[in-house]
Structure 1
Amino acid sequence: MDLGALLTTQFLSVALVFARIGAAMMFMPGFGESFITPRHRLATSLLIALVITPLVAQGPVPTGGVDLVLAFGIEVTLGIWIGLVSRVLLTAMQVAGAQIGMVSGLSNAFAPDIGSFQGSTLIATSLLLGAIAVIFAADIHHVIIDALIESYFTFPPGTMMPGDLAEQMIRAGQNAFYIGVSVAAPFFVMGVVLNVGLGLTNRMLPSLPVFFVAAPVLIAAGLFVLVLAVPTAIRTFISHFVEWLGMMSF
């Protein structure tokens, strides 16, 4: 057996696996956060690729120039797709944070000490960091690695269905919006009840400065509901995220 050909085949096998894993890790929630340097993401991807290559290697490795470039292109595309769909699902927390900030008055542009949308950004960032922390605390990162391995059986190397990938990306956006609105639903109820009550109060007491009374009440009530709703909100996102990782489909 030609040792050079064997080493070349083994290197290309690892490189093809690394192409998919590395592309996915650049966007994957938990692994692909901006505060994790690309060097560490790629190093983690390389280690995972070295470990799982014997598990996912399927068929002969292409050695021709055109076939090899095409194979790398497909693997990188699939990896980017997996990472981006996961990232789109994570934006559900941003949708929820924006809605919560608007309903609770934290994003009121007329409040000089808060500023426009800064309150919504703070809540969205808190929910994002909470979801990322739970991913590692609940060992969901192990599920992510298992999902990347299973992706080779869902999407065998060298095959890609662009139409299905585009459809799933659209469904990811739909699910992210649905999760975000579902998480923010208690705040919608709270906002309706408080605003109706304050409106009736204004009708009975026209001289009452409702804006100055309503803002502290809305913010206090929003923060109180937020404390109660955060565990359920993160659990809702994690359940949908894990469900998608298990099937790679909506």
Structure 2
Amino acid sequence: MLETPLLAAFLAFCRIGGCFLFMPGLSSVRVPMQVRLFVAVAATLAMLAHLWDLITPHVSSEPGPLFLLIASELAIGALIGLIARLYVLSLQFIGTSMAMFAGFGMAAGGTAIEEAEPQPPLTALISLSALMLLFVLDFHHEIIRALVVSYQLAPIESLFDPQSALTDITDTLSDAFYVMIRLGSPFLAYAILVNLGIGFINKLTPQIPIYFISLPFVIAGGLILLYFAIPSLLGLFAEGFFPIFEGR
């Protein structure tokens, strides 16, 4: 009968497709919907042979249990993709803060790579560079490996655990915040020192609009700091991703 193989393939597609729905890079608005669908189907067919014995025994043709399994698989897959996406979103957050610290806060919003909303050009540059670095380091292979391992950590028959999912999301946000504070701390220190110095100079010469005159120099200093800091910034970002993702 074809009913059992089709249902098993569909359940596998629910978990894999739910992950790809939030996966950084693939879930970008720049990627057509058809491409995302075909990639999810291809990954499902490639992984189904390895997951067959873990999925087939729990397939049910009854509507009630089947819908429950579909909802559970979608939620588990979305959680795996959301953990990776939260880490990238935290980089976009600190990138926006770094742009503000470096004097780019008043710059017109540029074209975002991942999101539909405009971002400062500096944030778009950092986000694109970090995302390309993750793909170079085969982070998509790590996500696929996590999907395979998830059938042992979260078997299909155990269903989705909201409490465990909330704990994973909270731990991811906490660890990502710690990493991003390390990445943005040089720009934070630069902004404090520069604005403090400009404030003192402005008090000494109130007749001159020091703030507007100093803005090009603040931006130039921020770009110089970015030039020297971006190799370490991207390296720390990549190093922090895999421990955080594997720890969940």
How much has 1:49 moved relative to structure 2? 1.0
Tell me, in whole angstroms, the C-alpha distance in 2 between the residues paired with 1:62 and 1:241. 37
Per-residue CA deviations over 1:161-195 (Å, capped at 9, x if unaligned) read 11110122223333333333221100111122222
Give the partner amino acid of 2:69.
A
Fraction of identical pairs, as percent: 27
Tell me, in whole angstroms, the C-alpha distance in 1 between the residues paired with 2:231 and 2:157. 41
Q: Tell whether the 8 Å contact from 2:20 to 2:81 is kept in structure 1 after alignment.
A: yes
Q: Tell whether the 8 Å contact from 2:9 to 2:44 is kept in structure 1 after alignment.
A: yes
Per-residue CA deviations over 1:116-146 (Å, capped at 9, x if unaligned) read x669622222222112111222222222211
Give the partner amino acid of 1:71.
L
Count of matched residue positions in the alignment of Structure 1 and Structure 2: 237
Secondary structure of 1:91's counterpart equals: helix
Secondary structure of 2:31's counterpart equals: coil
How much has 1:224 moved relative to structure 2? 1.1
How much has 1:203 moved relative to structure 2? 4.2
Tell me, in whole angstroms, the C-alpha distance in 2 between the residues paired with 1:184 and 1:171. 20
Q: Residue 83 of structure 1 corresponds to which residue in structure 2? A: 81
Per-residue CA deviations over 1:42-95 (Å, capped at 9, x if unaligned) read 111111111111222313322222111111110011111111222111111211
Tell me, in whole angstroms, the C-alpha distance in 2 between the residues paired with 1:190 and 1:60. 57
Q: Residue 182 of structure 1 corresponds to which residue in structure 2? A: 182
TM-score by length of 2: 0.87
Tell me, in whole angstroms, the C-alpha distance in 2 between the residues paired with 1:13 and 1:71. 11
Give the partner amino acid of 1:45.
A
Give the partner amino acid of 1:56.
L
Q: Residue 95 of structure 1 corresponds to which residue in structure 2? A: 93
Tell me, in whole angstroms, the C-alpha distance in 2 between the residues paired with 1:145 and 1:105. 40
Q: Which runs of 5+ in 1 are unaligned?
A: 109-113
CA distance 1:105–1:91, change in 2 (3 Å): same
How much has 1:29 moved relative to structure 2? 0.8
Q: Residue 47 of structure 2 corresponds to which residue in structure 1? A: 52
Aligned pairs for 1:15-164 within 5 A: 15-57=10-52, 58=54, 59-108=57-106, 114-115=107-108, 121-159=120-158, 160-164=160-164
Q: Tell whether the 8 Å contact from 2:15 to 2:78 is kept in structure 1 after alignment.
A: yes
Give the partner amino acid of 1:183.
L
Q: Tell whether the 8 Å contact from 1:19 to 1:72 is kept in structure 2 after alignment.
A: yes
Q: Tell whether the 8 Å contact from 1:27 to 1:87 is kept in structure 2 after alignment.
A: yes
Q: Tell whether the 8 Å contact from 2:58 to 2:157 is kept in structure 1 after alignment.
A: no
CA distance 1:232–1:120, change in 2 (3 Å): farther
Q: Tell whether the 8 Å contact from 1:94 to 1:180 is kept in structure 2 after alignment.
A: no
Tell me, in whole angstroms, the C-alpha distance in 2 between the residues paired with 1:245 and 1:104. 30
Give the partner amino acid of 2:212.
F
CA RMSD in angstroms comes to 2.1
